[in-house]
Amino acid sequence: MAAATAAGAAAAAAAISLFAYYLLLRKSGSKLPWTLTTRANGRRTRRKGLMQAIGNTPLIRINSLSDATGCEILGKAEFLNPGGSVKDRVAVKIIEEALESGVLVCGGVVTEGSAGSTAISLATVAPAYGCRCHVVIPDDAAVEKSQIIEALGATVERVRPVSITHKDHFVNIARRRALEANVASTQSETNKMQTNGSAHVTVEMLHPKQTNGSEYANTEVPHNGKLCPDSGSKGGFFADQFENLANYRAHYEWTGPEIWEQTKGTLHAFVAAAGTGGTIAGVSRYLKEKNRNVGCFLMDPPGSGLFNKVTRGVMYTKEEAEGKRLKNPFDTVTEGIGINRVTANFMMAELDGAYRGTDREAVEMSRFLLRKDGLFVGSSSAMNCVGAVRVARDLGPGHTIVTILCDSGMRHLSKFFNDEYLANHGLKPNAIGLEFLDQ
């Protein structure tokens, strides 16, 4: 009887402890570790291991900007994801959907063309799914990004920056690398079947979903040693972050709901820059479905055509009009944002307007946040914060504005946080407060 009583007391204590833990997590806004995630098709799945640590990032008050504007300016601290950026969510969603559909198999190689963050996230996540990673990166991106990717075990291919219309643009090369991996895989299978005495073999070069209709997605792939065939080749998959709507879905199903829950639906505006367009599209569409009155705005860096697309309906920049198309095809010290084409992901965005920022504003904002808030953020995060202040000033005091702190400054040391590099471009920071926003 005593033993039964003791056992009952222990069970009761355990139940109380578990319930207390549940309340603590609910109060802090954290997800329970066994929480199921919902996919677009309604199926629910458990994420295990590394993937459990991705998402549910804190929404922090940026004190300096909030106090200066009279608004609550909140930053979604995506730099706290395991791979160090918002792109961890995209990497997980792209790989999960590819594995589920069968266009990627365990042991296959994921290829991507990326200026850095998505590449790092794919290199971080791919091994957890039993896959390899091959990244093509423009050689003007901060060198520490390729160093991180290589340290993560991925293959890195640095190429010169050219227009997306060029066959050797880093995205188009990445697409070809997936084709090469598929050729290697089919050759390997053919050799195995011939060895086993099979007289005939049918070869399917590439799953049609991987081509995305691109003129560069053909089967004439000269082997150049970049992806060498081997006996263990399992084929390739081109992640295609710009056009793959898994990017948009990651933020519609994941980031947007987190922001809504963390603000308890009280936010008035959301603002962010766009590269692939997945973040701003997924978050804006989700927030608009919850409340049509939430203002959603684009923040665009120098040379990008998205500001004009949102405000005038056309992709047009002064640089193009003057015949001065610069690198790829715009010139800015910010990385990962700005583009001169409308991607499939960006087309999903629901926006109320757009703002423009300058390189100087991004540089000065990054130093201001570091001095005042201890926030060490990258170039796109800094530009997003410039946008948040612009929105706050237009709306007036008393409003709540959310933006994305995409990544930290740790992967921007050689350029954006290099005083010599900035001085050579006439961008050495010298502001004391936020006066740089008034110029």
pLDDT bucket at 317, cuts 50 / 70 / 90: low
| pLDDT at position 22 | 35
**What average pLDDT does the segment 391-412 reach?**
97
Tell which wins on pLDDT, 123 or 142: 123
Q: Model confidence over 328-367: pLDDT tens digits?
A: 444 788 988 999 899 999 999 999 999 999 999 999 999 9
- For residue 30, pLDDT beyond 70: no
Mean pLDDT over each residue of the chain, to the nearest integer:
82
Pairwise CA distance, residues 208 & 30, whole Å:
40
Q: Provide CB contacts within 8 A for 432, sequence distance 6+.
A: none
| pLDDT at position 241 | 95
Pairwise CA distance, residues 180 & 372, whole Å:
50
Q: How many CA atoms lie within 13 A of 372 on its CB side?
A: 18
Which of 8-17, 288-297, 340-349, 356-365 shows the lowest per-residue confidence on average (mean pLDDT)? Answer: 8-17
| pLDDT at position 327 | 40
pTM of the model: 0.80
Q: Which residues of 195-211 are buried (b: 16+ CB within 10 A; e: fewer)?
A: eeeeeeeeeeebbeebb
Where is mean pLDDT largest: 136-145, 187-196, 218-227?
136-145
Q: Model confidence over 250-280: pLDDT tens digits?
A: 999 999 999 999 999 999 999 999 999 999 9
- The terminus-to-terminus CA distance of the chain in angstroms comes to 81
| pLDDT at position 114 | 87
- For residue 196, pLDDT beyond 90: no
| pLDDT at position 318 | 58
Which is it for strands 72-77 and 400-405: parallel, antiparallel or unpaired?
A: parallel
